[in-house]
A and B are shown apart, each in its own frame.
Chain A
Amino acid sequence: MTPDARPLLALRGLTKRYPTGDLALDGVDLEVPPGQVMALIGPSGAGKSTLIRCVNRLVEPSAGEVRLDGEDLTRLGRGALRRARRRMGMIFQEYALVERLSVMENVLSGRLGYTGFWAAWFRRFPRRDVVEAFRLLDRVGLAHMADKRADALSGGQRQRVGIVRALMQDPALLLVDEPTASLDPKTSRQIMRLLVELCEERGLAAIVNIHDVALAQEFARRIVGLRQGRIVFDGPAETLDAAALTRIYGEEDWSRTIRRAEAAEEEELA
């Protein structure tokens, strides 16, 4: 294997069994090369959310390896895990901004992994962090909102703040959990487009959990399908057909779902 081809993230036999006995992940093997935006689709309860939370160990895996740049994260102690988490930005379904903090504070919280406790307590972040925060807020069109409280923003604006917070970590990988689930269709597309653009600009890899198959097909080059904790599909977005969807979600008339991505594209052009 040449050094260039080494995956950024490699999961080997990743398994998660919850204390209730539910097997959420069942021996998942997955490789994500640097800079690749990958969509992870699958029915509710398939283990999508568990999978990305096992990567940064917000959920502890029961067995298997999670290798980031070759380092097995499942063996790290607390300090080393915190350092590893800084390289993985996370974006959440319900934005998960700290609502009583301002937009700028939320954005700067992305730097907490690099900042000592007292500096964080007194909000004394290095000047370059604050400059970077304003630059990124401006990139997503929210620089003028810096001092607004997070709960004063609309859904799309909040998710953009969530994206900026993740980018502040200077990550190599984004873990994105249903970024559009709480957004209307138009905002969903804007958010997905922004996400993909930012990943391209910065050469970031991303695992995007997403319910909307059409959106996944439109914005991700690679799609992985998860069903009952196992990968049942892994291929380029164009190869996701009715047979693949049936394998992932079960029997249903998929002809319209697959065509929808193209139709939506045309609609937008019109």
Chain B
Amino acid sequence: MSATAAPFDAVAAARAWRPPPLIATRWLRWAIYLGALLYAVLGVATVEVNWARAAEGLERGARFLAGFLPPDFLTKREDILEGLLESVTMTVVSTAIGIALSVPVALGASRNLAPLPIYLFCRAIIAISRTFQEVIIAIVFVAMVGFGPLAGMLTLAFATIGFMAKLLAEDIEDIERAQAEAVRATGAGWFSWIAWGVLPQVKPRLIGLSAYRLDINFRESAVLGLVGAGGIGDTLNTAFDRYEFDTAAAILLIIIAIVLACEYASGWLRRWVQ
């Protein structure tokens, strides 16, 4: 700094300083804020609420809920048990198959391992698997293989591939390069390199995701019954169709209990492998 320059005034600079706004361009910032507000006002204005109908619905809803009480676990216990067993089988088998298939897809979908063509192919598999909601896939599979748990199993396995492969590939892309490089430098072959340099780094995540997916698959298996893909959802659907709301309530309670147990178990497992 030259001797003639005015001394820097930190106080004035501090007074002029403002935290940077989220959107730097002033007119764009206001345009977005005003646009959002306008949209909200117009949106609310277009909703037609029939208060009389809502009040009536409230009463009807109360009667509907009253039909659930008390839950009846016993009358249809064989149907419930069969549905449950089917759901659990469906969940376990589809999770196992899905994980087994997702590992090679995940390896292929990791940019740091796979050459570009394989990477794009595996990413495409993931994208297709993740695009459609399980129920939509289930409808397709039911059309293909008929009603029953096979369709549900195929659906869940297919959805598992996209879910697991995407998240696992993310983890593989984040591995410590040096550790993998060191294993490669020993002259290890490709498979040994994956098994020793890459797998140990992603194992906790692989186990954690598997447990999480098992839990998701059970929940989904309950939904899939609604489109005829077998399991406890089928039983639930039948109960509703026959206006057996007390049985339906029992099934819902069982589903809630199992989902909670699964969630607790998978959370515990994930903490344990860290």
A residues with CB within 8 A of B: 56, 58, 82-86, 88-90, 92-94, 96-101, 105, 109-115, 117, 120-121, 162, 165, 169, 175
* Contact with B200, one of A92, A100, A165 (Cβ below 8 angstroms): A100
Which B residues touch A112, using CB under 8 A? 183, 186-189, 192-193, 196
The answer for the CA separation of A165 and B203 in the assembled complex, in Å, is 22
The answer for the CA separation of A82 and B203 in the assembled complex, in Å, is 26
Contacts A82-B189, A86-B187, A112-B187; is A96 near B182 (CB within 8 Å)?
yes
- Identity of the chain B residue whose Cβ is nearest the Cβ of A169 in the assembled complex: B186
Q: Is the interface of B mostly helix, strand, loop or mixed?
A: helix
Q: How far is the CB of A90 from chain B (nearest CB, A)?
A: 4
**Are A90's CB and B182's CB within 8 A?**
yes
Q: How far is the CB of A182 from chain B (nearest CB, A)?
A: 11
**Are B189's CB and A117's CB within 8 A?**
yes
**Are A58's CB and B185's CB within 8 A?**
yes
Which B residues touch A94, using CB under 8 A? 178
Which A residues touch B187, using CB under 8 A? 82-86, 112-114, 169
Most B Cβ at <10 Å: residue of A89, A96, A114? A96
- Identity of the chain B residue whose Cβ is nearest the Cβ of A117 in the assembled complex: B191
**Are B178's CB and A92's CB within 8 A?**
yes
Q: How big is chain B's contact interface, by range?
A: 20 to 34
Extra 8 A-B pairs, beta carbons < 8 Å, given A100-B203, A110-B186, A113-B186: A82-B188, A86-B187, A92-B178, A96-B179, A96-B182, A99-B201, A101-B200, A112-B183
Which B residues touch A98, using CB under 8 A? 179, 182-183, 196-197, 200-201
Which B residues touch A96, using CB under 8 A? 176, 178-179, 181-182
**Are A85's CB and B186's CB within 8 A?**
yes
The answer for the CA separation of A58 and B197 in the assembled complex, in Å, is 14
**Are A117's CB and B197's CB within 8 A?**
no
The answer for the CA separation of A38 and B184 in the assembled complex, in Å, is 24
Q: How far is the CB of B194 from chain A (nearest CB, A)?
A: 10
**Are A165's CB and B196's CB within 8 A?**
no
* Contact with A120, one of B176, B184, B196, B204 (Cβ below 8 angstroms): B196
Most B Cβ at <10 Å: residue of A117, A121, A169? A117
Which A residues touch B69, using CB under 8 A? none
Contacts A100-B200, A101-B200; is A117 near B192 (CB within 8 Å)?
yes
10 contacts between A and B (CB under 8 A): A58-B185, A93-B178, A96-B179, A109-B183, A110-B186, A111-B186, A113-B187, A114-B187, A120-B196, A121-B195
Q: How far is the CB of A103 from chain B (nearest CB, A)?
A: 13
Which A residues touch B185, using CB under 8 A? 56, 58, 85, 88-90, 175
